[in-house]
Structure 1
Amino acid sequence: MRTSTSTAQDLGMPAIYLHLLADLLHNIGVDEKALLLRVGLDPHRLNCPDLRVSQAQASEFVTRAIIESGEPGLGIMLARELKMPLHGALGTAIMSSRTLEQALELMTRYLTLRAPNLHVTTRHSKGNACYRVTCDQDLGPLQGFIMDAMLFGCIFMGAQLTGSTVPGFRILRRGPEPAFFQRFRPTLPVPVEYGAIEDALLIPVSHLDMPIRFCDDQLAESSRIKCDEALRELTEDAGFACRVRRVIETSYPFPPKLARVAATLFVSERTLKRRLQEESASFQNLVDEVRLERARDLLTTTSMNLSQIADALGYADAANFTRAFKRWTGSSPSRYRNWARQPKAKPSPAAMAASV
């Protein structure tokens, strides 16, 4: 039985996929930045490889993108743009596998890292390996988009891995064929069959031993270890505080108001405060944690002056930002920037703070 998005666990969606979708919208004439801002997402933050966007915001952005572009096939269009390195450690692990079967096994094992609500089960039947894809929640418009991106993306990523379209590859889709699909069918290199009883990839068993062009046993092993670590961290950080933090991390304007975050997560302000308190967290502390991370990043990777950084972090002026930064770290922003830009070896942050 599938659960609703409001009651199920929300592990978020990698922000990089929405960044890629925003680029697609730009290319077809949609003002992607204005659309992101209306949803409350910071366009400049989506390109951060480690950030995840709350499911609610991802769903709202995808829904509005389909409506404003008039293109229900955005998931298929996104599938064409999915390159293996975009998938982080999982993409690297898959690329460095020995065979197509090993690559598909890794996708099955670690799919939660990239598409948390999708699950893959495998069976062999009539000479084919069937990779059945299911969704454990009712995601609304986001569901069709993700399923399209996943299934059709496998076509193009399979060609990236092996150097050519996998012979005998087929896609099965549940339900009737949508009218828009006629525009895409001639451009797809494999048969797509609608009206099936399941959403699935079919691959002849005889082709599962196709070699991967980028095979690297050592890199494969280290990437699998990273996938295990990332999966553990993702599932451990599944509490309500983590969901709130995800909204804060990608919000525009920053910092977001408590009311806006509560509305995004479909809870009242009172419920948000209570649930955070149950996890020994507070909204303001989460905002400050994100502010500190952003401050450190801006101080070390940009030439923005303190007034510009203060403005980006939602402070009235540089003096207020400086006081807050000293309270967090024991160091002034300028001293931290100088320390961070020194060549190795550096003193520890604790030692630096003690010298202030």
Structure 2
Amino acid sequence: MDGSARYTTANFHTYLLRCITGMSKDFGIDPVRLCMGLGFEIEDLSSPDCLVSFRQAASLIRRALACTKDRERGLGLDIGTQETIGSIGLVGYAMLTSPTLGNAIDLGIKMQRHAGVLLQLERVDSGKYLTIRARSLFHEPDLQPFLVEESFGVFLNLVRTLAGDTFTPSFVELSYSKPSYSAHYDQVFKCPIRYDQSENIFACDAHWAEKRIATYDPLSHRQVLDFLQMNVAKQSMEDEFIESIERIVRRDLRQTPSLSAVATQLCMSDRTLRRRLADQGRSYQNVLDQLRMVHAVALLTNPRLTIDEVAYEVGFSDAHNFRRAFKRWTGHGPRKSQ
């Protein structure tokens, strides 16, 4: 695992880790051992102020997976489907008091950092489907099945809480190979499941977005949103600045804009853009590298794509330069990610 600041900065809420340790005894796991030597104890996970790094979270998850490796079930599915809307804290309550399912989903995605999500979730609708896409934030292929299982499992649970038990997804696509316990996936999702796909997708009919939520309460919703916004306001506005740059670049990673082009779109000079990035210890190249790495990692899980094709999709004219860059980002070549 990369030892860079991205991995070791404590900026993830502990809702998922609290669920894992809380349910661990059901799986024959000692929760104390899961936390041992990681820099926190079980009691810490119940504090709303407790934040952990991805390195700490990944270590705990790997321990749980190692302890359950002989089970013919997905640990992530078991964890996710037992979580409730209260498992994600105030974000869950804000979703519960939203007017429609579509509103609740949008809010959950907007506030996902405050729900302890370890993947990047996006809503990417087509005309027929309401679609949730899950992408890796870090290059940890061995953790991806667990993280996707948990995210899609809890998403299914949340939607059924909000929209009713009759909700069923239209299809699920997964970027990794079919596991030995695939029957567990069929049991949970009860819809077509396609493996070895280019992305991780959870899709349902678009009409579900208009479903009214029975627990909608405008006053309570406003109150909890105001409280969440107070927490969001504590974060630097520079987070929005970085996100604005990333949004421009993500439009087409194959032909990334120059720093000058980005500065023009943000209505500032090149010098101001460089200075504001430097104030956060970042550079434009660093932002590009991060976006390219995340997208490349997602693409490399698709065995049907060649290294040349992946290189092109993330803005490299030849595979040789892509291989060198990927090794610089992750510590190893792209072949290990396939």
TM-score (norm 2): 0.62
Distance 2:3 2:153 in 1: 24
Distance 1:54 1:7 in 2: 9
Q: Compared with structure 1, are the counterparts of its residues 111 and 11 closer, same or farther at alpha carbon in structure 2 (3 Å cutoff)?
A: farther
Report the number of matched residues.
238
Query: How far 1:106 moved relative to its partner?
Result: 0.6
Query: How far 1:222 moved relative to its partner?
Result: 1.9
> Which residue is equivalent to 1:69?
68
Query: How far 1:237 moved relative to its partner?
Result: 11
Query: How far 1:140 moved relative to its partner?
Result: 4.8
> Which residue is equivalent to 2:84?
83
Distance 2:139 2:233 in 1: 25
> Which residue is equivalent to 2:147?
146
8 A contact 1:130–1:200 mirrored in 2 = yes
Query: How far 1:54 moved relative to its partner?
Result: 2.1
User: Per-residue displacement from partner, 1:19-58 (whole Å, max 9, x unpaired)?
Assistant: 2211222112122212322434312222223322222111
Across the aligned residues of Structure 1 and Structure 2, the Cα RMSD in angstroms comes to: 2.9
Residue 22 of structure 2 is aligned to residue 17 of structure 1: no
Query: How far 1:108 moved relative to its partner?
Result: 1.9
User: Per-residue displacement from partner, 1:164-189 (whole Å, max 9, x unpaired)?
Assistant: 14245432211221112324422444
In the TM superposition, 1:23-102 aligns within 5 A as 23-70=22-69, 71=71, 73-102=74-103
In the TM superposition, 1:292-311 aligns within 5 A as none
% identical equivalent positions: 17
Q: Residue type matched to 1:6 in 2?
A: S
Q: Compared with structure 1, are the counterparts of its residues 140 and 53 closer, same or farther at alpha carbon in structure 2 (3 Å cutoff)?
A: farther
After TM superposition, the structure 1 stretch with the greater mean CA deviation from structure 2, 164-173 or 146-155, is 164-173
8 A contact 1:11–1:235 mirrored in 2 = no
8 A contact 1:127–1:205 mirrored in 2 = yes
> Which residue is equivalent to 1:221?
222
Distance 2:64 2:238 in 1: 29
Q: Compared with structure 1, are the counterparts of its residues 68 and 123 closer, same or farther at alpha carbon in structure 2 (3 Å cutoff)?
A: closer
Q: Compared with structure 1, are the counterparts of its residues 20 and 43 closer, same or farther at alpha carbon in structure 2 (3 Å cutoff)?
A: same
In the TM superposition, 1:206-245 aligns within 5 A as 206-234=207-235
Residue 4 of structure 2 is aligned to residue 6 of structure 1: yes
8 A contact 1:16–1:48 mirrored in 2 = no
After TM superposition, the structure 1 stretch with the greater mean CA deviation from structure 2, 70-79 or 204-213, is 70-79
Distance 1:17 1:214 in 2: 25
- Structure 2 runs not aligned, ≥5 long: 240-279, 281-338
> Which residue is equivalent to 2:292?
none
In the TM superposition, 1:58-207 aligns within 5 A as 58-70=57-69, 71=71, 73-115=74-116, 117-207=118-208
User: Per-residue displacement from partner, 1:40-78 (whole Å, max 9, x unpaired)?
Assistant: 431222222332222211111110111122257221111
Distance 2:180 2:74 in 1: 10
Q: Residue type matched to 2:42 in 1?
A: P
In the TM superposition, 1:337-348 aligns within 5 A as none
Query: How far 1:93 moved relative to its partner?
Result: 0.9
Q: Residue type matched to 2:211 in 1?
A: M
Distance 1:102 1:224 in 2: 13
Q: Residue type matched to 2:56 in 1?
A: Q
Q: Compared with structure 1, are the counterparts of its residues 111 and 17 closer, same or farther at alpha carbon in structure 2 (3 Å cutoff)?
A: same
Q: Compared with structure 1, are the counterparts of its residues 226 and 140 closer, same or farther at alpha carbon in structure 2 (3 Å cutoff)?
A: farther
Distance 1:5 1:159 in 2: 39
Q: Residue type matched to 1:8 in 2?
A: R
User: Per-residue displacement from partner, 1:154-207 (whole Å, max 9, x unpaired)?
Assistant: 111111112214245432211221112324422444443323221122121122
Distance 1:190 1:155 in 2: 12
8 A contact 2:169–2:202 mirrored in 1 = no
8 A contact 1:120–1:131 mirrored in 2 = yes
TM-score (norm 1): 0.59
- Structure 1 runs not aligned, ≥5 long: 239-278, 280-356
